[in-house]
């Protein structure tokens, strides 16, 4: 795509749609123009603007790993007008994508360390990119633990991948659902993510924790990590704020002088603690 | 700086020649009781009877609404028609006040922050800015408080200053300005060396900028201060619309059947929906936080991140405010509190 117009999206074909949970879908997207596919690259943690022509653009992370070439994936919940229109699209349809934007998870710096992923609900998608990225480079890391919780069994996303991770001897997976969200044959934990994490008593030594979830989960998870000795620069998260452009011009996503689109979306807890309360 | 003299007759002739040539001319005209920038077809339409125009000159490079690209949908297929850069007109912008001219530097810093917005830069590149020094000011003007002045050449390609005889001292500020003078060289005379300073308005300094820049960050968490400041703010966003440096925008789709366009339009941090998430969460929930964003963006974030102050002291926001909030007074109280 030869253009000087930074607002013109790539055209992407929806190759595959997966139903993840009620109102939650994953799209596998392929570049329609082969030259775009050739020149495009991204790193884990980055996001994009996905659009339905005539309805508008919406911001989500790229949920697939950069190690999986030839496509990108996004997972979204039907919530506003754009995600509703996306939800109505069929395989083979064309949508727009701008990106990649934002910074990345510093996985090169994590070499030789253990990784503890903690996610809640619809916040697994941004983390799924970095999980698969690290699993595809498995020899670079020591222990990999994933703690994932959702309101109910039905609300767990990527059920097939949870099974794959569970089967791997080199991954420890703990899944949980909120009390009352379990089914009779549920074999995972029952309880909120911070409680389950506390029970797990994670070792902080030489370990990076990556946390992503609803604000309430984050709020109660950080103190647990602190209790087990995780330093603020060993904990990472990814922020979301409303955006229009994705590259520091439209004026929406800044938290004080920090722009989520340019300085983020990935922040360490150390950086997060320096941000004003505006996210 | 090289100077020429443009007599009042040659000034009218210059305007006519510009209009009949390859440029479109945008200049201040009377619109009912107000004065605003419009594309003009004759020199007689221009007025000089204004302190500042109602809207700033920014729309020449950053229009209120603009099509970013077009699209057509056919079943599952989508075709996009890219923005037509050739369609951007060559424009002469006349009668711009020095404050407005200075505002383009702020806009450029935002539109060129890492990723370059070529739509904006091409529009600006194709615009020749002929400024007009201020002989008059009013109580809302405070350019001298933000490092401007009524005869400031920065941001202009040519700056005109009207002499008591009705002629115009013409300062040639940029290469672009020099080219325009060369194009119409027969209209310009040798400058007689009249002093410019006595011809300019007196704009007293209302506050000390360095004092604000030094103190504003420490006020961030003072919620009482901001909510008191914004107590009567209606959140209408008029201040942002008339501002020469406000660049915040929205992107929306418009479609009719199969065809449509993606459009960029001005937006404002003062509007309550500006940062609202679909979930209902809003990082800037009250008007105090939104007013804080407005002042801090201009006097903290932009200086810090883009090395430019996001205010040129034109005073338009104070004049446009329906509840009479005066930005200079609000800024002054940052130092005083």
Task: Tell me which residue in B68, B82, B260 faces A54 most closely, judged by beta carbons.
Answer: B260
- Domain residue extents for chain A: 10-101, 114-238
Mean pLDDT, chain B, integer: 96
Residues of B in contact with A242 (CB under 8 A): 274-277
**Above pLDDT 90, what percent of chain B?**
96
Asked whether the beta carbons of residue A8 and residue B80 sit closer than 8 angstroms, the reply is yes
DSSP letter at B46?
B
Give the fold, CATH level 3, of A114-238.
Rossmann fold (3.40.50)
pTM given for the model: 0.95
What's the pLDDT score for residue A1? Answer: 62
What's the pLDDT score for residue B194? Answer: 86
What's the pLDDT score for residue A2? Answer: 74
Render pLDDT for B58-78 as a digit per residue (tens, 0 to 9): 999 999 999 999 999 998 999
A10-101: CATH number: 2.40.30.10
Confidence check: pLDDT of B193 > 90: no
What's the pLDDT score for residue A248? Answer: 96
Find, among A127, A102, A110, A133, the residue nearest to A233 by Cα: A110
Model ipTM value:
0.94
Find, among A68, A71, A69, A65, the residue nearest to A104 by Cα: A65
* Distance set, CA B310 to CA B124, B132, B134, B266, B303 (Å): 18, 21, 21, 16, 8
Q: How far apart are the first and last CA of chain A?
A: 35
What's the pLDDT score for residue B192? Answer: 85
Q: Report the b/e string of B252-263 with b at 16+ CB within 10 A.
A: bbebeeeebbbb
Q: How confident is the model at residue B322 (pLDDT cuts 50, 70, 90)?
A: very high
Residues of chain A numbered 80-139 and touching chain B (CB < 8 Å): 80, 83, 90, 92-96
A186 at B interface, C-beta within 8 A: no
The strands making up B3-6's β-sheet, listed across from edge to edge, are B34-40, B24-31, B91-96, B127-132, B158-162, B168-172, B3-6, B189-190
Find, among A41, A13, A17, the residue nearest to A29 by Cα: A13
Asked whether the beta carbons of residue A53 and residue B73 sit closer than 8 angstroms, the reply is yes
Q: How many CA atoms lie within 13 A of A7 on its CB side?
A: 32
pLDDT in tens, chain A (279 residues): 678 999 999 999 999 999 999 999 999 999 999 999 999 999 999 999 999 999 999 999 999 999 999 899 999 999 999 999 999 999 999 999 999 999 999 999 999 999 999 999 999 999 999 999 999 999 999 999 999 999 999 999 999 999 999 999 999 999 999 999 999 999 999 999 999 999 999 999 999 999 999 888 999 999 999 999 999 999 999 999 999 999 999 999 999 999 999 999 999 999 999 999 888
Find, among B296, B324, B303, B145, the residue nearest to B226 by Cα: B296
Residues of B in contact with A94 (CB under 8 A): 76-78
A7 at B interface, C-beta within 8 A: yes
Alpha-carbon gap, residue A49 to A59, rounded angstroms:
5
Contact A228/A194 with Cβ under 8 angstroms?
Answer: no
| Count of A-B CB contacts under 8 Å | 127
CA distance A143 to chain B (A): 35
Asked whether the beta carbons of residue B247 and residue A249 sit closer than 8 angstroms, the reply is yes
Residues of B in contact with A33 (CB under 8 A): none
Confidence check: pLDDT of B258 > 90: yes
What's the pLDDT score for residue A127? Answer: 95
Q: How far apart are the first and last CA of chain B?
A: 42
Task: Tell me which residue in A80, A249, A253 faces B278 most closely, judged by beta carbons.
Answer: A80
Confidence check: pLDDT of B1 > 90: no
- Domain residue extents for chain B: 3-336
Task: Give me the sign of the Cα torsion angle B116, B117, B118, B124.
Answer: negative
């Amino acid at each position: 795509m030869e253009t000087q117009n930074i607002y013109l999206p790539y055209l992407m074909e929806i190759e595959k749609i997966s139903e993840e949970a009620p109102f939650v879908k994953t799209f596998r997207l392929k570049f329609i123009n082969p030259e775009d596919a050739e020149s495009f690259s991204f790193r884990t943690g980055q996001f994009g603007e996905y659009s339905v022509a005539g309805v508008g653009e919406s911001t989500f992370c790229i949920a697939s790993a950069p190690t999986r070439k030839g496509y990108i994936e996004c997972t979204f919940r039907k919530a506003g007008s754009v995600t509703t229109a996306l939800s109505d699209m069929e395989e083979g349809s064309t949508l727009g994508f701008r990106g990649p934007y934002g910074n990345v998870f510093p996985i090169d710096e994590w070499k030789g360390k253990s990784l503890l992923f903690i996610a809640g609900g619809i916040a697994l998608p941004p983390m799924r990119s970095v999980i698969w990225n690290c699993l595809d480079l498995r020899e670079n890391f020591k222990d990999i633990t994933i703690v994932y919780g959702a309101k109910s069994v039905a609300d767990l996303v990527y059920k097939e991948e949870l099974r794959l991770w569970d089967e791997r001897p080199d991954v420890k997976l703990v899944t949980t659902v909120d009390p009352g969200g379990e089914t009779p044959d549920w074999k995972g934990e029952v309880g909120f993510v911070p409680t389950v994490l506390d029970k797990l008593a994670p070792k902080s030594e030489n370990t990076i924790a990556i946390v992503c979830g609803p604000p309430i989960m984050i709020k109660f998870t950080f103190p647990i990590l602190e209790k087990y000795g995780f330093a603020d620069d060993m904990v990472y998260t990814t922020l979301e704020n409303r955006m229009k452009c994705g590259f520091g011009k439209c004026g929406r996503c800044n938290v004080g002088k920090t722009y989520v689109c340019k300085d983020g979306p990935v922040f360490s807890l150390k950086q997060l603690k320096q941000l004003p309360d505006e996210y | 700086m090289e100077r020429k003299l443009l007599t009042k007759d040659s000034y009218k002739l210059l305007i006519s020649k510009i209009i009949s040539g390859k440029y479109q001319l945008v200049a201040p005209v009377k619109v009912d009781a107000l004065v605003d920038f419009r594309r003009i077809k004759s020199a007689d339409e221009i007025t000089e009877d204004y302190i500042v125009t109602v809207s700033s000159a920014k729309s020449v490079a950053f229009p209120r609404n603009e099509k970013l690209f077009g699209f057509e949908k056919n079943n599952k297929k989508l075709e996009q028609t890219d923005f037509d850069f050739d369609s951007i007109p060559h424009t002469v912008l006349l009668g711009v006040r020095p404050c407005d001219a200075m505002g383009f530097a702020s806009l450029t810093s935002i539109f060129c922050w890492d990723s370059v917005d070529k739509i904006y830069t091409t529009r600006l590149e194709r615009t020749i800015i002929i400024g007009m020094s201020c002989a008059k000011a009013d109580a809302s003007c405070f350019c001298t408080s933000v490092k401007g002045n009524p005869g400031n050449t920065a941001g202009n390609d040519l700056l005109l200053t009207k002499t008591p005889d009705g002629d115009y001292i013409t300062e040639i500020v940029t290469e672009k300005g020099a080219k325009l003078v060369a194009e119409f060289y027969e209209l310009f005379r040798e400058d007689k060396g009249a002093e410019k300073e006595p011809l300019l308005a007196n704009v007293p300094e209302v506050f000390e900028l360095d004092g604000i820049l030094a103190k504003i960050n420490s006020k961030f968490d003072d919620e009482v201060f901001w909510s008191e400041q914004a107590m009567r703010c209606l959140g209408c966003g008029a201040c942002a619309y008339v501002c020469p440096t406000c660049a915040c925008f929205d992107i929306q789709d418009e479609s009719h059947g199969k065809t449509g366009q993606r459009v960029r339009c001005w937006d404002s941090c003062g509007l309550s929906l500006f940062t609202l998430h679909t979930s209902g969460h809003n990082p800037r929930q009250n008007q105090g936080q939104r007013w804080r964003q407005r002042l801090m963006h201009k006097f903290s974030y932009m200086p810090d991140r883009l090395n430019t102050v996001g205010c040129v002291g034109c005073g338009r926001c104070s004049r446009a405010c329906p509840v009479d909030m005066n930005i200079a007074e609000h800024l002054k109280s940052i130092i005083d509190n």
